[in-house]
Amino acid sequence: MEKDEIFSNRLAILGKLAASLIHEIRSPLSVIKMNLDYLSMNDSEWNDDTRESINSCKEAVNRMSFIVTNFSTFAKKSHKDDEFISLNDLTLTAVKVAQIEARMQGIKIDTELQQDLPHLRISKDKLLQVFLNLIYNAIESKTKDNLIVIRTYTENSDWIVWEIEDSGKGIEESAKEKIFSDFYTSKEKGTGLGLSVCKSILDEYNSQISFESHLNVGTKFFIKFPIKDLTK
Ligand SMILES: Nc1ncnc2c1ncn2[C@@H]1O[C@H](COP(=O)(O)OP(=O)(O)O)[C@@H](O)[C@H]1O
Ligand SMILES: [Mg+2]
């Protein structure tokens, strides 16, 4: 076999392995989640220590299911969940989910959202995954002023732009062309799937993702949604 062929064969096997692993992890994860929710029904009886420890279990489980979903979105392409949604509402949902992690690190997430944006026909779950990936990356960028800002606005009435800005460490020149590749990560515990998942989801909706980044100054990621295409 050619070298390339061996490599892509290995990748295919790895893909199958990952898919079955994800499948196996899902059900015990949902058992943990259900039991934590069950415990939460009596949270008025807890002392502060117990509450804190159950809440951190919940956060850990949420983070795990986010990672698992990143892996499974990787393979799936279906438009059956598409519905008209408000980007601003979904942004606020994403901020709420990421808030716990941000707060633990003393980071504030601000939003500047243009009102009355047209609703777009997109899958809520997939887009939430995109927003969360970008928000988590901003949190992990070690932002210096402890602030992340998310903006929505229209551009020439053709596009809705969703923008996220951090004042973190920025992206090295040599990494700029790699960050959207599968498995590229500069983090010790990264999966390198976040941005490639974002890109493949946004491709499905003819939407564009781009960024501007300066070392030790910060990074802005932009998503551009085509209004005409997504309001049909
Ligand atoms: N906001 C950001 N600031 C600095 N670097 C970033 C940012 N977002 C992405 N990156 C770079 O892109 C890489 C790939 O990101 P991603 O695909 O989400 O994988 P992961 O977060 O698991 O590393 C990161 O490891 C990091 O080097
Ligand atoms: Mg990431």
56-105 pLDDT, tens digit per residue, is 898 889 888 888 887 776 556 678 889 999 999 999 999 998 988 899 89
Residues linked to residue 211 through DSSP beta bridges, in sequence order? 221
Lining ligand 1 with CB less than 6 A are: 133, 137-138, 141, 166, 168-171, 175, 179, 184-187, 190-196, 219
Distance 141 CA to ligand 2 centre (A): 10
Is residue 19 scored above 90 in pLDDT?
no
The whole-angstrom separation of Cα 223 and Cα 161 is 6
- Give the number of the atom of ligand 1 that is nearest the alpha carbon of residue 196: 17
List, in order, residues 6 or more apart from 122 with CB less than 8 Å away.
Answer: 82, 83, 85, 205, 225, 230
The whole-angstrom separation of Cα 230 and Cα 126 is 15
Ligand nearest to the CA of 180: 1
Ligand nearest to the CA of 184: 1
In this structure, the residue with its CA closest to atom 18 of ligand 1 is 194
Distance 61 CA to ligand 1 centre (A): 22
Crossing angle of helices 48-73 and 124-140, in 10° steps, is 110
- Give the number of the atom of ligand 1 that is nearest the alpha carbon of residue 175: 27
- Give the number of the atom of ligand 1 that is nearest the alpha carbon of residue 195: 17
Residue 46 region by backbone torsions, left for phi larger than 0, else alpha for psi between -120 and 50, else beta:
beta
Task: Among 30-39, 41-50, 167-176, name the most confident range.
Answer: 167-176
Per-residue pLDDT tens digits for 196-229: 989 989 999 999 999 999 999 999 999 999 999 9
Mean pLDDT (the chain, rounded): 90
Q: Which of 141, 166, 179 to mutate to test the pocket of ligand 1 (most atoms within 8 A of CB)?
A: 179
Specify the residue for token string 């030790």: 216
Residues linked to residue 160 through DSSP beta bridges, in sequence order? 154, 225
Retrieve residue 187's tokens: 């983090």
pTM of the prediction? 0.82
CA dihedral 8, 76, 181, 16 (to 10 degrees): -30
The whole-angstrom separation of Cα 187 and Cα 171 is 12
The whole-angstrom separation of Cα 66 and Cα 3 is 34
130 touches 191 (CB < 8 A): no
65 touches 100 (CB < 8 A): no
Give me the long-range contacts of 55-61 (CB less than 8 A, separation at least 24): 57/32, 59/100, 59/101, 61/29, 61/32, 61/33, 61/36
Which pLDDT band holds residue 116 (cuts at 50, 70, 90)? Answer: very high
Distance 81 CA to ligand 2 centre (A): 24
The whole-angstrom separation of Cα 166 and Cα 21 is 34
